[in-house]
Amino acid sequence: MMNSVVPVFDLAEGGLWLAFARGVTIAALFSLFGTLVFLRVVAPRCRPRMTDLEAMRAWRALRRLAGLSVAVAIAALLTWLVFQAGAIADAVTLRQALLATPLVLTATRFGHLVMVQAVLLAATAVLLSRSASRQPHALAVWTAGVAVILHAGHGHALSVATHPLLLPASMALHLLAGGAWLGGLVPLLLFVRMSPPQTGATVCRYFSPLGKLCLVAMLISVVFQGWVLIGNVPALIGTGYGWVALGKLALLGLLFGLAVLNRYHLAPALRAANARSAQVWLVRSIALQTGFSVAVILAAAVLASLPPGFQPPS
């Protein structure tokens, strides 16, 4: 009998559904944080190049996106809580999972973190609804950012024995950078699509430094986490965790490639004669990037559900 070269993908109880619920929660958190960062950092710098009507339409679309993101984030967080409570309590039915939820919420670290995240998201929603001006309240960026950072506590960062401070810090940095960059892609897409080509070029120019900074932070944190959680080549190529990590790295490579294409080829073309055609291609490229971002986030959610590659012999 031949040994399979495909490693075991030992997902935690709850399997793919639990990983999916975790992934949707991360995606919504990223979308919220990325949209708020975009609104505070990138959009104001493009305002002088926009007419009042263009600005009004763009800001309204982004504020709607932020509102939708916070609503989805709260709903996804609570759904994930029930799924996770069911998995922890070995529940077989939804009713059993719901009955286990209060105890999981009050008696586990996972539950405590979910409670704080839910409060922060609710505070963000209130701050967004009360912002009179176009700009969201600066505090909303902080509350959303802390909710993103706290997600580091749901993964392996606070569980492994080695590097009790550095690993959570690395994970928090990874999440913040991912949130600002990947979460900023949909706002970028909306801005480029809704603005005249010249303004779209300006948006890309101002989004680029943020993207570069986030990419560097993500790569540094990925290398460190890979070192700690995988540790060696056999664990990288011989475990399910290693395979998913490689897949995530490949997706990040594709994202990087598209970012380079956008910044140095398609965005400058917005100022050229065939600007409308370039705008269409840029919108398609950013949409593709957004799709890859969702895949990266789902891969991250699966990674958090798998035992790290570096495991002691059983």
Partner 1 sequence: MRILTISLLLTLASVGPALAHAHLKNADPAVGSTVKAAPTAVTIEFSEAVEPKFSTIAVADGTGHRVDKDDVHVPGGDAHHLSVDLPGLGAGTYTVTWKATAVDTHKTNGTFTFTVAP
Distance of CA 62 to the CA centre of its chain: 17
Query: Site size for partner 1, by CB under 8 A?
Result: 32
Measured distance CA(23)–CA(264) in Å, rounded: 31
Q: Which range, of 68-76, 223-231, 257-265, 273-281, touches partner 1 by CB under 8 A? A: 223-231
Question: What is the closest distance, in whole angstroms, from the C-beta atom of residue 220 to partner 1 in the complex?
Answer: 9
> What binding mask, one character per residue, do residues 79-108 give for partner 1 by CB under 8 A, x or -?
-----x--xxx-------------xx--xx
Residues 135-154, mask of contacts with partner 1 (x by CB under 8 A): -------------------x
Q: Is 156 in the site for partner 1 (CB under 8 A)?
A: yes
Q: Which two tokens stand for residue 297?
A: 């986030």
CB of 103 to partner 1, least distance (A): 6
Select the residue interacting with partner 1 from 166, 213, 260, 280 (CB under 8 A): 166
Tell me if 283 sits within 8 A of 192, measured CB to CB: yes
Cβ atoms of 309 and 229 closer than 8 Å: yes
Give the C-alpha separation, 114 to 97, whole Å. 16
| 277-285: Cβ within 8 A, 24+ apart | 278/197, 279/192, 279/193, 279/197, 279/200, 282/192, 282/200, 282/204, 283/189, 283/192, 283/193, 285/258, 285/261
Q: Is 163 in the site for partner 1 (CB under 8 A)?
A: yes
Regarding 307 and contact with partner 1 (CB under 8 A), the answer is yes
Binding of residue 129 to partner 1 (CB under 8 A)? no
Binding site for partner 1 (CB under 8 A): 12-13, 84, 87-89, 103-104, 107-110, 154-156, 158-163, 166, 224, 227-229, 231, 307-308, 310-312
